[in-house]
Amino acid sequence: MEKKTQINVWYFLVAIWAIVLLQNWWSDNQAVETIPYSEFQDLLRNNLIAEIGIADRYIRGTLKSPTLEGASRIYTLRVEPDLARDLEKYNITFTGIVESKFIATLLSWVVPIGVFFFLWMFVIRRFAEKQGMGGFMSVGKSKAKVYMEKDTEVTFDDVAGVDEAKAELQEVVQFLTNADSYGRLGARIPKGVLLVGPPGTGKTLLARAVAGQAGVPFFSINGSEFVEMFVGVGAARVRDLFEQARKTAPCIVFIDELDALGRARGINPQGGGGSDEKEQTLNQLLSEMDGFDPSEGVVLLAATNRPEILDPALLRAGRFDRQILVDRPDRKGREAILRVHMKKVKIGADTPPDQIAALTPGFTGADLANIVNEAAILATRRNGDSVTMEDFTRAIERIVAGLEKKSRLIIPHEREIVAYHELGHAFVARALPGTDVVHKVSIIPHGIGALGYTIQRPTEDRYLMTAAELKNKMAVLMGGRAAEVLVFDELSTGAADDLDKATDIARNMVTRYGMDETLGQVTYAEQQSAFLGNIQMPTGSNRQYSDDTARKIDHAIRGLINDAFDRAAAVLNQHRDALDSTALLLLEKETLSGEELPVLKSPEGPQDKP
């Protein structure tokens, strides 16, 4: 309200200033009288002029006393002196004449205005669009990029590792290509299909593949492009997007990062127009989804990696009817994805995709594409004829551990600590059953703060783990600290990350998985917070158990960590000679493969682990 008052005051002051200028102009024009040049000469002879100003084409003068009409100043056009004397002999009234130059006068006004308009249209407007402000004439227009079927250049053949999602989306393709046959039993296509999954799993690629497979136009827009600083602009863009889609039906409308637009509505205690703009845009999207008929041939696809913060109204039946999970691929899926990307590079004969897939558990499709590209770059850098398995291994190491930093100088004592620390992980992993196979051990610094690393390769994808396997995993993590204590009888900061991971596993075993006999089959996990609008709000107390129970949880976690340390120390004590000899070899070669490590026996049984 205060801002509006200030604006009104400024308008009032500008109006007063304009009125004053108009009055001055009117009074100046009323006090000046235009006269013929002959009359000017009469006034001059009669000594009635006080002063004059002479220009090239006219004369302005001030009279000693005002005329009968009240004018105190005069104006006349100049005439050549010789001609004036000749005309005066014959008592002829004469004055100057200005030739009409209408076109020149008009151009003198039009050209500057045209130049200014050109600058505004082609310079200022483009600068504003580059800065993200957009043009004034297109502020309510949709920013969706339109790809025709030949422009997407993606089909289902280019998508691998997500067979279930492809099967679900195949129905959308069938509807778009043959709507009559698909709906012969009365079935209708879902109004909206929501692709949900972690970043990099191929949600956008899948949406483009649907358009390419169906051969229909593809409208692609990001959820954040609907939101502007002006309230109502986002809603106008939603309307414009759906209007364009209806005109080009059948087509696909794809909204990426839907959470930027569809975040749960709520009260924003900080106020401001941003929340109002988002809510109005979301309301318009909900209205459009209710208003369009799927039989028109418009299919709405959207993608998000944060479905938990979406507004419930978006997910109800009749809007996004179908939700498709696009998860990280399993080993078979990773192999299929690698084969798709490896077609674009020259691969050596000794580079089986299944082995690379085994080294990349938890990697997404984007990660795998990056690995293939990194391996090709490394092969090119060494002037190789093809991309080999060693290039892929180095590419994986670079992505997992970071860039090699051989130039980093490490004092001999610290280098020795790092060697024993990494071998502590490797020896415990090779001795205990149910742990991942050790692929490589290195003491070459990588990334930020990583002085060495141990890479383990799982033999298969795992979705469940037993308590014994989790305990073995903690023992492997504590192997580095146990080796430092055993050999040097001192602690270092190198085990900080290992302690974090081991403590996290132990805390989950106690508070989430119910794997502690003392606390029983009860979950004590802390409650998570939820989003209300743009604010992260706690859903309840972070702790719903007594202080005595909290004390027992702390003791149980500490007990699991100490037991893991003791088990790791027992393995290393049993194989101390092999540990010392392998450490000397690692210090010499800096990197050892899994085949160069000795075969160890577990102190808990006679079983060997290759």
Longest Cα–Cα distance of the chain, Å, equals 143
Pairing of strands 322-325, 437-442: unpaired
Cα(450)–Cα(403) distance, integer angstroms:
10
CA atoms within 13 A on the CB side of 117: 6
Active-site choice (422, 490, 595, 604): 422
Distances (CA, A) of 47 to 40, 41, 42, 54, 157: 11, 10, 9, 17, 103
CA angle 331, 327, 473 (to 5 degrees): 60
Residue of 134, 42, 133 whose CA lies nearest to 94: 42
Task: Check if 422 is active-site.
Answer: yes
Q: Alpha carbon 46 to chain centroid distance?
A: 87
Q: Rounded distance, CA 79 to CA 574, Å?
A: 123
CA distance linking residue 337 with residue 353, whole number of Å: 9
Measured distance CA(528)–CA(254) in Å, rounded = 31
DSSP secondary structure code for residue 592 in this structure = E
Question: What ranges in 219-272 are assigned the alpha helix state H?
Answer: 233-247, 259-262
Three-class SS state of 335 = helix
Order of strands across the sheet with 437-442?
453-457, 437-442, 591-593
336 Ramachandran zone, left/alpha/beta (phi>0; psi -120 to 50): alpha
Q: Which amino acid is at 173?
A: V
Cβ atoms within 10 Å, residue 16 = 10
What ranges in 131-162 are assigned the alpha helix state H?
149-152
**Which residues lie across from 450 on neighbouring strands?**
446
Cα distances (angstroms) measured from residue 128 to each of 223, 228, 229, 551:
21, 14, 14, 60
CA 499 – CA 496 distance, rounded (Å): 5
**Catalytic positions:** 422
